[in-house]
Amino acid sequence: MKTTTNEKAIGRFIQINGEIDEKVRAIRNALENHFEFDCDEINWGHVGTAGEINSHLGQVLEIIRNATR
């Protein structure tokens, strides 16, 4: 039986969704552990890192919102 292009696309889409799910879980774990930062030693560098992560996640959400329009 010949696999259609659409079936291949669906399979790859499901695979990518699984990869995204793994990354989202890793992000959740990092958040719960304060990105492994020692809370008593938080400095502006840590704030910058958190801000950069927040910015990138905002970009991801924007991609998602635009894809569903």
Which pLDDT belongs to residue 43? 96
- Contact between 35 and 50 under an 8 Å Cβ cutoff? The reply is yes
Where along the chain do its domains lie? 1-32, 40-69
Tokens of 68: 């569903």
Which pLDDT belongs to residue 1? 60
Residue 5, class by beta-carbon neighbours within 10 Å (0-12 exposed, 13-18 middle, 19+ buried)?
A: exposed
pLDDT in tens, 5-64: 899 999 999 999 999 999 999 999 999 998 889 889 999 999 999 999 999 999 999 999
Dist. CA 25–CA 6, nearest whole Å: 28
Mapping DSSP to helix (H, G, I), strand (E, B) and coil, where does residue 1 land? coil
- Contact between 31 and 49 under an 8 Å Cβ cutoff? The reply is no
65: confidence class by pLDDT, cuts 50, 70, 90: very high
